[in-house]
Structure formats: C-alpha cells, structure tokens
C-alpha cells in the first residue's frame, strides 16, 4: 500500500492529497493511484463536495468548451457529443468474463484478460495534458441499507458536472467507510480520449465500454455520451444486478410514481418500460408524484417490498416533450433551472428539439456542426435538426412534483409493479396478473416491443426485452428470472403485478385505440385495485377492469365520456395475436435462456391453454363481457 500512497503524494498537490488521505478504505486509494499510473494526467482534482468545488466543476465545463452557456435562460447549458457517439453502443459494451465463468449467450462479452489488456492499452496516457477529476458519489439515499458508495475518475468536466445533477454527493460517506475488503464499492474509470476541435471524442472507432464484474469496475474510453461515460447509469446497473442476485434483492430499470387515491391516499407503483414505450410520461403524470424516472433498488424489509431511487436526477429523452402532452416537464426545462441539454439544435440563444410543439428554425448549430434544413451526412441521409436521442439532465428536486420521500433511507412501500411494451396487436391496455409469478412471467419475461406495424397483416418486427433490463443483466437470464420469482415468495405483503400497453391499434384501420392521456386512467385503476376498492374481470391473460369503474375514472380524471364501444374495442381478448406472442416468447426462451426456470414454461403454456379453451367457446376475438 505504501507504493500507492507514494504515487498519490508525488502526483497530487498537497491540498488534494489531504482530501484523499482522510479516506481510510485502501481499495479507494489503490484504485485512484492505479488510474493515475495508467492515464498519466497532468493534474488531479479531488472533489470533496464543497460549494466552491462544485462551482469550479460547472465553470470548468464551460471553460473547457465541453459545454456552452450561450443560452438566454439562466442556468441552461448545452453539450454536443460526437456525430458517431449519440447513444449506448451495444457492439462495444462488453462484460469481462474470467476463464471458467460463463454468462448467457445473449450477453455481449470478452475474455477478461484480453479485455483488460485492450482497454488499459487504450487508456494509457489518455489524460496526458488533461485533469483527472475524482468524484465520490452514492447510489441510493445516504445512511441506508440501500446505499452503495461509488468512485468515478474522469477527464471530462461535462461528465463531472452531469453526475452532480444525477447523483448524491458521497465524499462524507466515504470518510465513514472502514478499511474493509468486504465493503462493495462501485468504480468507474472514464476518458473521453483525444478530442477534436469541437471538444468531442476523436477516436470513436476505438470506443470501448467494458464491465469488470469481478472488481465492480466500469472502464470507458473514447466516448462522451453520458450513457457510456457516466458509469453509474446503466453500466453500474449491471454490477448492482449481480450484487442483488447474491444478496436476494432486485436492482431494476424502474420508474416509481406516487399515485393519489381517495382521501389523498398515496400508493407507490414501480414500472419497467423499454425506450419509447411510455416510461417517462407515466412517471411524470400530472397531479401525481415522481420518485424515480429510471432506476430503483428493491428490497424485502421485514416482509414488505421497499424501494428507493438509485439516482436523484433525470437524464431524459427530450424528443416529444411539448406543452400539450407533457406540460409539467416542458415548463420545468424551459424555466431558469440548472439543466444540461445535449445534442439539441441551438439558435438565437434557445434550444430546439423534435416534436416540441412548434415550428423549428431552418438553421442553427447541432451535433453535426453548422446545420441547415436539408443537410445530409456522408451516406446521403438527411441530418435532423435535433438528434432523436437528444437529452436533458436535471435534478429531480427542481420538479414541482418531486416526491418528498426521495431521500428517505427506509425507502417506500411498493403496492404494484408495471411492465409495459409497445404491442400494437396483442395485449389489452391494462391487466393484472393472477399472482406474483403469473404477472412476472406473463408481463415481465414476455415483455416485447413491436417496431413496425402493417395493416395488411404483414408481421411486424418484435424485440423481446425481459423486464426491460435484458441488455444490462450480468448474470444468466435464467438466474435473473429465478431471483425475481424467489423474491416474491419471501414477501409477506406482495405487490400486485400489472401489464400495460399504451399502443394497441385497431387491426383493420391501424388507428390507435388509446389517446396519450388515457394512461392516467389505467394508473388510477391500479391504485384502486391495489386497495381492493374495485373488482376486476378474470380473462385468459389476466384480470381486466370493469367498464363502470373506467367510465367513472375517465370522467373524474380527464373529464371525458368513455363509451362501452371504446371499452369493448380496447379490452377484447385477441386470441390469435396472444398465442403468437406466447409462441415468440417460448421460442426466445428456448434458444437464448439455457437455464430458464420451469415456471416460465408452465405459466406461458397454461396461458396458451386458457386462450385455446376460450377460443373454442367464443371464437378468435372475445368481448370482455363474455368473461363476466
């Protein structure tokens, strides 16, 4: 250990070394010293979370030109990632798997020794001429059984600024850590690598994001996009999933919303949705409270299912945010708040994005440089004014609907869990599982998104995304599902499990059968169902709402008349489409999940039998009234 202390003494200024020397945990000091040796920064800045240091990071993000403050609204800055660095990169994101270990064939992986050699070679001298910024953070509220301490070393002031909005400060928590090898700490080493004249990562062809689950470490190089460079987003989720599996809890891709019921009762409901399936708009429903928009840890606390938000900010997709559909978030991100916009269009001191509810300028600057309408890339494809994956980064606490339990170290009790996909043909808008295992498998394991829809009956493209977390699962998918099943069995009070589908279409016309605001009704019905204030109708695929209950909710919540005709269209059980869905899922499970629990086959096979039995009695398309 003396060797690493000497490295720190030699490379750090006295005041920076003193900040580190107060930390007793030797794993932390060794990690930072090793990174300094590899990356060879000119300077090291240790952030101990003082107001002056936080202000310095924000200022340096501007000074370095990684962000620009040339916007009219106070607190707003913008950042551009490189043209080829606009999202999570599945191809170069890999697990480092040691010899003798095995992960699911569905997961991207590389031999650990080979991967470490490659990534460390790319990181060698990557910070020469730059500053290494060291941030101490925590996942989950402070002083909690949910808390996981984290260290991030980066050479990007933009990344260091972003984590300040997204995560809780952790330096003081690190001062309390004992020097115990058994304490799990998540580590991230990131370098944007060589930068071009626009201060974006130059060597994007050498982008690598590798996860070393043996050492709870994420390595990231030649990228700035936050999903790749902020190690504690989906990258550390992979580490948390392994930890959760070993300890018997759940690390999930969950939003959490506090839903109000009769007499101001508030019920917490979590939900998992793949991208563009309604997750953020559900989390931001007007009149309810948001606790989390993306990630949650879920534990059994004395038999009760409790959850916390892993983060305390939002890294949200901005496309489609407009005053009509998302008034709360639109008003927040157009008001004076500390916000980082990324990969939007900038013109006349304002930011612009796709589907924002107004006409966009014909020119400006964006991630491609100077932009004008009709500009094309090297392949002849038109460059949009704002990227489809353009984002905003903001603290949750500036939202007027931020839940007051955000920092509660005990977490909140979950009354329900939702799984929602983009299913144009099959599932009804909302249904409840018969029990924990049925819901988890029928709506979670069978979660899929249809990417296209053809009215003439041509089959669309389907992507199965188990629990909306498949890309991030760092254990075998079979063990992940098994852990979910066992977690529910150990609870004294089990949350209800719901499946939602906001995208059901008419099979003949292709028209959507729901409006964007109808989701609020399905959520309100769940809240009532959790407390047994309403009954449901048992169908072949789950328990659906009764017409009279929905009619009342539509009037109360949306001041909208809800017809019996609409109800029957939305909640008709489509037997052929549901059976086709089950067959696709079973095929995927047989091909991709070598160790799938037997319950998966039992539940889906039973569902298929119920559908076939109902078909014999009522035909292919069964009105909900037939099940009464």
CB 355 within 8 A of CB 202: no
| Angle at alpha carbon of residue 605, lines to 602 and 610, rounded to 5° | 120
Strand 76-79 and strand 339-342: the pairing is parallel
CB 540 within 8 A of CB 614: yes
- DSSP assignment of 157-211: HHHHHHHHHHSEE-HHHHHH--S-TTS--EEEEEE--SB-TTSSBS-GGG-EEEE
Q: How many residues comprise the chain? A: 628
Beta-ladder partners of 199:
none
Nearest 5°: phi and psi at 245?
A: -60, -45
| Angle at alpha carbon of residue 183, lines to 179 and 187, rounded to 5° | 100
E strand or H helix at 549: helix 547-558
Which one of the listed residues 277, 312, 358, 402 is annotated catalytic? Answer: 277
- The rounded distance, in Å, linking the Cα atoms of 543 and 558 is 23
- The rounded distance, in Å, linking the Cα atoms of 309 and 397 is 13
Tokens of 601: 């086959």
Tokens of 518: 């109808």
Find the Cα–Cα–Cα–Cα dihedral 616, 620, 621, 623, rounded to 10°.
0
Query: Does residue 312 have an active-site annotation?
Result: no
User: DSSP label at 470?
Assistant: G
Residue 326 CB neighbours (<10 A): 22
Strand 496-500 and strand 412-420: the pairing is parallel
Tokens of 51: 């107001």
- The rounded distance, in Å, linking the Cα atoms of 514 and 465 is 23
Tokens of 562: 């809800």
| Angle at alpha carbon of residue 567, lines to 561 and 571, rounded to 5° | 155
Contacts of 552 (CB under 8 A, 6+ apart): none
Active site residues: 277
């Amino acid at each position: 250990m003396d060797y690493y202390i000497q490295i720190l003494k030699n490379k750090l200024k006295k005041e920076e070394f003193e900040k580190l020397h107060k930390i007793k945990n030797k794993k932390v000091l060794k990690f930072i010293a090793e990174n300094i040796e590899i990356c060879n920064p000119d300077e090291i800045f240790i952030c101990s979370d003082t107001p002056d240091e936080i202000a310095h990071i924000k200022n340096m993000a501007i000074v370095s030109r990684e962000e620009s403050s040339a916007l009219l609204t106070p607190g707003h800055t913008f950042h551009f990632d490189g043209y080829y660095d606009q999202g999570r990169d599945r191809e170069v994101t890999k697990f480092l798997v040691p010899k003798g270990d095995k992960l699911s064939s569905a997961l991207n992986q590389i031999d650990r020794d080979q991967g470490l050699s490659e990534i460390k070679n790319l990181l060698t001298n990557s910070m020469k001429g730059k500053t290494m910024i060291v941030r101490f953070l925590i996942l989950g509220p402070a002083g909690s059984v949910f808390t996981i301490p984290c260290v991030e070393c980066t050479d990007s002031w933009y990344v260091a600024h972003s984590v300040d909005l997204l995560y809780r400060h952790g330096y003081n928590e690190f001062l309390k850590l004992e020097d115990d090898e058994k304490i799990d700490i998540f580590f991230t080493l990131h370098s944007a690598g060589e930068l071009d004249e626009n201060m974006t990562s130059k060597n994007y062809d050498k982008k690598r994001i590798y996860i070393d689950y043996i050492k709870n470490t994420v390595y990231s190089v030649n990228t700035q996009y936050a999903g790749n460079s902020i190690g504690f987003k989906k990258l550390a989720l992979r580490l948390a999933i392994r930890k959760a599996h070993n300890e018997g809890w759940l690390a999930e891709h969950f939003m959490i919303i506090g839903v109000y019921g009769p007499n101001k009762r508030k019920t917490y409901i979590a939900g998992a949705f793949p991208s563009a399936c309604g997750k953020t708009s559900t989390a931001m429903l007007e009149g309810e409270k948001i606790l989390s928009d993306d990630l949650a840890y879920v534990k059994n606390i004395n038999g009760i299912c409790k959850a916390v938000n892993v983060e305390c900010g939002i890294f949200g997709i901005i496309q489609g945010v407009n005053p009509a559909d998302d008034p709360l978030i639109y008003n927040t991100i157009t008001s004076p708040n500390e916000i980082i916009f990324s990969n939007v269009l900038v013109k006349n001191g304002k930011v612009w994005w796709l589907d924002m509810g107004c006409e966009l300028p014909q020119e400006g600057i964006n991630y491609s440089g100077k932009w004008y309408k009709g500009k094309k890339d090297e392949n002849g494809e038109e460059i949009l004014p704002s990227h489809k994956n353009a984002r905003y980064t903001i603290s949750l606490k500036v939202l007027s609907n931020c839940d007051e339990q955000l920092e509660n170290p005990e977490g909140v009790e979950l009354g329900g869990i939702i799984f929602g996909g983009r299913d144009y043909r099959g599932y009804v808008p909302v249904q409840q599982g018969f029990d924990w295992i049925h819901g988890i498998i029928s709506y979670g394991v069978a979660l899929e998104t249809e990417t296209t829809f053809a009215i003439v009956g041509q089959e669309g493209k389907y992507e199965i995304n188990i629990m909306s977390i498949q890309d991030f699962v760092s254990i075998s998918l079979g063990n992940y599902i098994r852990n979910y099943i066992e977690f529910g069995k150990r609870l004294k009070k089990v949350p209800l499990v719901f499946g939602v589908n906001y995208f059901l279409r008419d099979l003949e016309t292709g028209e959507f059968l729901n409006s964007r605001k109808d989701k609020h009704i399905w959520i309100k019905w769940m809240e009532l169902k959790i407390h047994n204030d309403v009954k449901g109708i048992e169908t072949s695929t789950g328990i659906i709402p009764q017409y009279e209950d929905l009619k009342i909710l539509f009037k109360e919540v949306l001041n909208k008349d809800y017809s019996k005709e609409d109800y029957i269209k939305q909640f008709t059980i489509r037997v052929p489409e549901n059976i086709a869905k089950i067959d696709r899922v079973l095929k995927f499970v047989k091909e991709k999940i070598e160790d799938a629990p037997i319950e998966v086959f039992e539940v889906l096979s039973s569902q298929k039998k119920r559908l076939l039995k109902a078909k014999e009695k009522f035909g292919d398309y069964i009105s909900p009234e037939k099940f009464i």
